[in-house]
Structure 1
Amino acid sequence: MTDLERRYLRLVRLLYPARYGRERGSEIVGTYLALAAPGRRWPSPADVTDLAAGGWRERLRAAGATGIGPGIRLAGTLALLTATALAAGWTVVEAQWVTEFEVPPLGLVVWVAWLLAAVVHALSPGRWTRFAIGVALTLTVAVVPLAPVIGAFRPPLYVLLPQAALGLVALGVPRRPPLWLRLAPLAGAAALLPAMASILHGSALSTYYGQSPGSAGQALPAIGLALLLVTLLLAAGLALRNDFRGAWALLLLLGPIGMLSLHSLAGELAVQLYGGGPNASWSTLLASAVAVAVIASTLVPLALLAASSRATASSGPAASSRAASSGPAASSGPAASSSAAASSPAERCPSCGSITGRQP
């Protein structure tokens, strides 16, 4: 056994379920060895990524959660659409800031990066889209410590945190979506721009920190509610066709939806703790964000555990029935012979081209 083969086998045992690795490990490793360049001693990064993705799929299939993959892609599409629409609206706010103070704020860089990610998704979906989303996500997080260092204005945390949460889910966008789905985020942003321009009034500061219906604290929970309703409708419609990717998408999007309501949650927490009006503070914003993150991060593992338990419970009776049907009484007589003939591999006749069963 060569070093390369040994390393591929180690990866298969690490990434795949134990039973699947024992049964199919040699076949998987043989495929990668056949495609490996001569003289290679280590698996390539692309092969490691492919093995990790395959192992993830097999573990989900073993847990009875086969719908989570399509659910991740559906949630990624909805998250990117929402993040792009929000970025378009906040770009209008930041442009107003430039008009008022003649100083480009850091937030403008963040929102333009999200709009560019939507453009990349329309033109080159797949790896480049994820790279663009990763850059926008990095800028969204980096602007928080960078703003006080350079003395620049940045958007409030209850605006940046929902964008970051949506960006994490948006990394699951499909690799090769149809054209209309690639254009959906840009279409949503274009549709929101006139509405955002009509809602804006006063200064950019009042839009971010005010309490009017067009302010961030009031608009974000409404957008979160709209995202929740759309996802619920999709989940219900898909469930009627025995397709549960909408339910998985809903679980994945509950975190961003909770972050969109962060300002309202922090305000209500402040009322419970201190009394008075619903005025969010740093402490209540932090406590609300941590609570939303913890709850959202436990929902999918709990759902996977429930799906795995259900699959294990249902596999017991099915295995017993299969064992009973394969006993001695079922393996004799003409029915068994015809069943064996039907299950034998098919061949194409070289003279007439018809499909015939291979005779024993």
Structure 2
Amino acid sequence: MSDLERRYRRLVRICYPAGYRDARGTEIVGTYLALSSPDRRWPSVADVTDVAGGGLRQRLRATGASGIGPGVRLAATLALVTATTLAGGWAMLELNPWTTPWLGFAQHGTSVSIGLGVWAAWLLAAVVQVVTPGRWTRLAIGLALVLTVAVVPLAAVVDRSRPPLFVLLAQVSLGFVALGVPGRPPGWLRLLPVAGAAVALPVAVTFARDGGGLLRGYYGWPAGQVLPGVGTALLVVTVLVGVGLAVRHDLRGAWALLVLLGPVGMLWLHPLAAQLAIAMYGGGPNADWTTLATAAIIAAVAAAIVMSAALLARRRLTFTHPAVESGGPARGTSGRPARRVSP
């Protein structure tokens, strides 16, 4: 057994549930080995993504949630639009020196913080979605996620300002959901992330010219008011879309709502942490990293509980027993045929 085959087998063993792995594991490994170059020693990133995605679908199928895939793709589209819209607004504020005094940042050159690079990466993902959706869009989102996380230690190393943690956490949560964007969306759907960012630009310009007066106050940084509003808008849009689909006996909207509960909670993170600070310490709503972390954990756990309850309810209603389904090869995220069952 070659090193490459051993690593593919280990990857399949990690990603797929036991029943499906025993029935189809050898076939899956053989497919990837046949498509790999003779000198390759490690699975490619695209193959790892394919195997992980196929394994996740089979694990969801085993819990009775085989229909969640379309809901995840809908949620991913809404999450990407929300993330790029926010990125467009934040980038404009970063570039505008009028906002510097009340933002509390020391201005360096043309931007008020190194967060500008983060927002540029998210805007790049919106452009990639228009030009070449699918695998390249997911790679662009992955790059934006890495930069969003890396900006925290980087700011400490270079001693530069960065966006607040609650802003970055909201962006990361949206980005993780956005990784599920469909590979071949309709043309109008591909334009939505760019359109959202474009709409955010004049709003941010108006806000900057006002000098922050409209949103100044309780939380200092405008995100303290903007993010909860965006979270509410995302929730309302998802509910409306879900109701419209439910009329046609399509439950994608319900699954999308469940998937987006986590990001919506993160968008409301700062006011939740502020209320938690009042409950824990009394006095004013001054959220620190401890209350932010506690609120983030509470929001994530609550979303996970609701999703688990929904999966359990669906399993009790419709699930009889796990079964291994047969089917032909489907196209993976890398464009290669992957042995997996369609959702």
Under a length normalisation based on structure 2, what TM-score does the superposition of the two structures give? 0.77
Q: 2:262 aligns with which of 255, 259, 276?
A: 255
Corresponding residue for residue 296 of structure 1: 303
Could you say if the C-alpha distance between residues 173 and 208 of structure 1 is closer, same or farther in structure 2, counting changes exceeding 3 Å? farther
Highest RCO, 1 vs 2 (Cα 8 Å, sep ≥ 6): 2
Query: What is the Cα deviation at residue 183 of structure 1?
Result: 0.8
Residue equivalent to 1:179 = 187
DSSP 3-state at the match of 2:65? coil
For the residues of structure 2 that align with 1:108 and 1:242, how far apart are their CA atoms?
43
| Residue correspondence of structure 1 range 118-137 to structure 2 within 5 A | 118-137=126-145
Q: Distance in 1 between matches of 2:168 and 2:64?
A: 35
* Structure 1 residues 169 and 32, CA gap change in structure 2 (3 angstroms): closer
Is the CA contact (8 Å cut-off) linking 2:93 and 2:99 kept in structure 1? no
Deviates more, 1:161-170 or 1:36-45: 36-45
Does residue 264 (structure 1) correspond to residue 277 (structure 2)? The answer is no
Counterpart of 1:245 in structure 2 is 252
Aligned length: 313
CA shift, 1:197, in A, is 1.5
Q: Which has the higher helix share?
A: 1
Within 2, Cα distance between the matches of 1:10 and 1:285? 38
Question: What aligned pairs does 1:31-42 form with structure 2 within 5 A after superposition?
Answer: 35-36=34-35
Q: Measure the CA separation in 2 of the matches of 1:41 and 1:193.
A: 46
| Identity %, equivalent residues | 58
Change (3 A) 1:179 1:202: same
1:142 & 1:10 partners in 2: Cα distance?
29
Query: Is the alpha carbon distance of 1:94 and 1:293 closer, same or farther for their aligned partners in structure 2, counting shifts above 3 Å?
Result: same
Which residue type is aligned with residue 184 of structure 2?
R
| Alpha-carbon distance in structure 2 between the residues aligned to 1:304 and 1:195 | 39
- In 2, the alpha carbon distance for the partners of 1:11 and 1:162 equals 30
Distance 1:13 1:286 in 2: 34
CA distance in 2, matches of 1:200, 1:38: 54
The answer for the alignment partner of 2:330 in structure 1 is none
Residues of 1 paired with 2:63 and 2:257: CA distance?
A: 19
Instruction: Indicate yes or no: 2:165 matched with 1:194.
Output: no
Q: Distance in 2 between matches of 1:238 and 1:116?
A: 31
Match status 1:74 vs 2:81 = no
Offset at residue 49 of structure 1 (A): 4.6
Residues 17 and 279 (structure 1), Cα distance of their counterparts in 2 relative to 1, 3 Å cut = closer
Cα deviation for residue 173 of structure 1 reads: 0.9
SS at match of 1:200: helix
Alignment of 1:199-238 (within 5 A): 199-201=207-209, 210-211=217-218, 215-238=222-245
Cα distance in 1, alignment partners of residues 175 and 92 from structure 2: 20
Offset of 1:47 from its aligned partner?
5.2
Partner of 1:152: 160
Matching residue's letter, 1:227: L
Q: Shift of the alpha carbon at 1:177?
A: 1.1
Per-residue Cα deviation, 1:216-259 (whole angstroms, up to 9, x for no partner): 21111111100011111112222232322212211111111111
> Looking at CA atoms only, which structure, 1 or 2, has the larger radius of gyration?
1
| Residues 4 and 43, structure 2, Cα contact 8 Å, conserved in 1 | no
Give the aligned residue type for 2:224: G
Pair 49,79 (structure 1): closer, same or farther in 2 beyond 3 Å? closer
Shift of 1:30: 6.7
- Partners of 1:2 and 1:285 in 2: CA distance: 48
TM-score by length of 1: 0.74
Partner of 1:111: 119
**Structure 1 residues 207, 283: CA separation in 2 closer, same or farther (over 3 Å shift)?**
farther
Task: Measure, in 2, the Cα distance between the counterparts of 1:220 and 1:235.
Answer: 22
Match of 2:90?
A: 90
Segments of 5+ residues of structure 2 without an aligned counterpart are: 101-106, 323-343
Q: Which runs of 5+ in 1 are unaligned?
A: 317-360
